[in-house]
Amino acid sequence: MTQRPVDVLVAGGGGFIGGHLVADLLAQGKSVRSVDVKPFDEWYQVHPDAQNVQADLSLRDNAFDATDGAGEVFMLAADMGGMGFIENNKALCMLSVLTSTHMLQAAKETGVERYFYSSSACVYAAEKQTDTAVTALKEADAYPAMPEDGYGWEKLFTERMCRHFREDYGLTTRVARYHNVYGPEGTWTGGREKAPAAVCRKVAEAVISGRHEIEIWGDGEQTRSFMYIDDCVQGSQMILADDFADPINLGSSELVSINRLVDIVEEIAGIKCERNYKLDAPQGVRGRNSDNTLIQEVYGWEPSISLADGLARTYAWVYDQVKRAQD
């Protein structure tokens, strides 16, 4: 199939990050092909001005069709979710390697000019994330390799594929390691949501029901950093456009505990909740934070949106979804 040429292909364009990225690219006047495995009514955002395609990119022919005529590719497509999903679906997460492999092959064969791969902080060695007061993770900390089982291994393997496609075939590849992206228009219920959306939902439900109590997975002292979606979208485009070729952290260095995350959302909502700790729930590593030294040196970049501001925007959106679902 010969596709109408486009400036950019967003693989996984029906997902949370993909939907926001497509919107931003269209706003810049670029022509965009947005491809996702999900039916259109399950896409997070559908943009009429984009070339929207439902296709399973784990199938080689579909990957080649989707990539045909695209100048640049943002490869965001993967089977993933929050910690509850990742810990209980390791095989599904590993099977994303089919999409990753076929998309790289397609990009090479169809003459794509620049190729962006969204990796993850889950590639980092588990032994470096055992304390809540974690030392922020530098890019070199991915080796010796012992990433998150399942999801993290697939991400690290595909990082290496991107490197070797660049070295062996001359495909211009760029890799960003995302650290916990959150914001409106994302997953907020159903088991795949990440901590910020889950906390926003639980607090919103407490407000609406009048029962001011919430469940927290683990003891709440596990620590993370969280990056607002607008910073992720801008940072990803910055990295693809630049000459720096090695994997690089894209995240916030603002480390908080899950308990502190709940504090902030409670302050936004104007309530205090009784906290019920589910100690046998999936928690992931004990602590994880982004060391932004390299991205500051290369790009002079830091996230522009604080956690408090980003959570305020996210909570307002999640509250509306919870209210609408209950009406």
User: Is 299 a catalytic site residue?
Assistant: no
User: Among 221, 193, 219, 218, which residue's Cα sits nearest to residue 205?
Assistant: 193
Structure tokens given for 203: 């607090």
ω into 184 cis (within 30 of 0): no
Cβ(73)–Cβ(35) below 8 Å:
no
Distance between CA atoms of residues 122 and 285, nearest Å? 9
Phi, psi of 232, rounded to the nearest 5 degrees: -65, -45
Query: Measured between alpha carbons, how far is 297 from 286 in angstroms, rounded to an integer?
Result: 28
The DSSP symbol for 68 reads: T
Residue type, 218: G
**Residue from 292, 295, 226 nearest 260 by CA:** 226
Q: Which of 229, 188, 301 is nearest to 76 (CA)?
A: 229
Which residue of the set 124, 151, 228, 315 is catalytic?
A: 151
Q: Is 18 exposed, middle or buried (0-12, 13-18, 19+ CB in 10 A)?
A: buried
Catalytic residues: 151
